[in-house]
Amino acid sequence: MNKFFTVIAVSVVLLLAACAPNFQQEDKIVQEEDAETSEKAIIPKYKISDDYYRTFMPFEPGEARGLVVNNLNTRYDIHEFETGLLRIAQNTFDTNKFVFKEGQYLDSATVSSWLNRKYTKEQLKDRDMKEENNVGLNPVDPGSGDIDTRNEENPIYLAHILEHNYLEEVGGKEGTYKLGGVVIGLAMNSIHYYQKEAYGATYDTEIPHSKLEAEGKKIAAEVIKRLRKMDDLKEVPITIALFEQKSRSSVVPGNFFAYAEVGKGSSEIGGWQNVKEKYILFPSETALQNHREDMTWFQNFKQDVEEFFPNYNGVVGKGFYLDDQLQTLTISIPIQFYGKSEAIGFTQYVTGLVMEHFPDYVAVEVNVSSVYGQEAVIVRNPNQDEPFVHVYQ
């Protein structure tokens, strides 16, 4: 059964100062779930950017909300997995035509069961499980017995599944919305952590990208087939994307590397599109070897920062690359200040360095912090003559 969203227009008058954003009126939504119950929601007409989808309010959490924290290695991967999936969605679902909602079809129990290993008959017996519940998407570990020791020969490839829903307005029925598409993210492990015995030491081994990609595409094909068996998802377009997460010790996130679009009613993945995104730590050997010019800009900036505090060397950057071109550079400068005037002076100094050292096509964000918290933020967008600077009080 398709879920429809009927809009009842309401007049909202906002008294705003001349310098404030011109917020437009909002639409009130009635979600018709069945004949006896209904749920009211709001879709804001105002968008802060074409890069963002409008979202149903009050916000309805996804059915599998919270699992991502346990299944991904770092907070960097958690954030990038979700925001990167929103970027993937924009290839298929226009932000001006579709409204975002967290996934409502894959609940926690389903996601958890799909993340399991596939079990042998003996393992099913040991776990008192039936064959119809043997739905794990990760490979069998034949030597684990009743305890999954996750040995080196049989890695856990799939770490997490994330679902996003996109609703579209029904043609000829202004203000009426229905499910227009689903986007699924599959987070794949680049490092396999395992134990040789229960409660023993944890070891790790790298999973080659080629193997990770092959397993991810195989798992994706099975996920599509399972989604098509759900009544509400039989006909809607589905986009599925593969994400490679980093190790537990990484200070930069992983990235999406491929996605595929599956048309209405189809259960077959016709072809995959490459996604050329990645994050690079500055300074690092990787940056020096593969992005020497960018590394030079960063090192010159870092050296000038250290002139203000000669004994300090804590400047760290995270660069986001698209098609091997630096798009954004986020820099963190934790420092010890002895007064607000010093913080203001340092912020002014760093602002000048940002404008001096980095090319104008790169978006740069600098966060200055101390033991007391955030002290200042500097944001220079591409081709911007004057950066945004804020010193926290």
Looking at residue 134, which CATH number applies to its domain?
3.10.570.10
Strand positions, DSSP E, the chain: 4-9, 27-32, 38-43, 54-55, 98-102, 158-169, 176-189, 191-195, 202-206, 238-245, 255-262, 273-274, 277-282, 316-322, 325-334, 363-370, 373-380, 388-391
Question: What is the identity of the amino acid at 263?
Answer: G
Distance (Å, whole) CA 324 – CA 327: 9
Beta bridge partners of 179: 167
pLDDT recorded at residue 172: 63
Q: Which two tokens stand for residue 179?
A: 């499910």
**With contact defined as beta carbons under 8 Å apart, do 322 and 357 qualify?**
no
pLDDT recorded at residue 328: 96
Residue 205, in any domain of the structure: yes
Distance (Å, whole) CA 384 – CA 35: 54
Structure letter (DSSP) for residue 117: B
**With contact defined as beta carbons under 8 Å apart, do 303 and 288 qualify?**
no
Q: Are residues 269 and 294 in the same domain?
A: no
Q: Are residues 285 and 271 in the same domain?
A: no
Q: Are residues 251 and 158 in the same domain?
A: yes
Q: Which two tokens stand for residue 351?
A: 């602002």
Residue 21, in any domain of the structure: no
For residues 126-130, average pLDDT: 88
Q: Are residues 267 and 285 in the same domain?
A: no
Residue 1, in any domain of the structure: no
Q: Are residues 135 and 267 in the same domain?
A: yes
pLDDT recorded at residue 144: 53
Distance (Å, whole) CA 184 – CA 242: 9
Q: Are residues 145 and 290 in the same domain?
A: no
**248 is in which domain, residue-wise?**
58-275
For residues 115-128, average pLDDT: 89
Residue 153, in any domain of the structure: yes
Distance (Å, whole) CA 140 – CA 116: 9
For residues 346-359, average pLDDT: 95
Residue 221, in any domain of the structure: yes
Residue 64, in any domain of the structure: yes
Q: Are residues 287 and 270 in the same domain?
A: no
Residue 325, in any domain of the structure: yes
Can you give 322-339 as a three-state secondary structure string?
A: ECCEEEEEEEEEECCCCC
Q: Are residues 245 and 296 in the same domain?
A: no
**Which range, of 24-28, 39-43, 97-101, averages the lowest pLDDT?**
24-28
Strands 277-282 and 202-206: unpaired
Question: What is the identity of the amino acid at 174?
Answer: E
Q: Are residues 81 and 218 in the same domain?
A: yes
The last residue of a domain, from among 275, 301, 318: 275
* pTM for the predicted model, two decimal places: 0.84
pLDDT recorded at residue 281: 97
Express each pLDDT in 256-295 by its tens digit: 999 999 999 999 998 999 999 999 999 999 999 999 999 9
The last residue of a domain, from among 228, 246, 275: 275
Instruction: Count how many domains the chain has.
Output: 2
The last residue of a domain, from among 227, 249, 275: 275
Specify the CATH number for the domain of residue 324: 3.30.300.190
Q: Are residues 227 and 113 in the same domain?
A: yes
Q: Are residues 295 and 221 in the same domain?
A: no
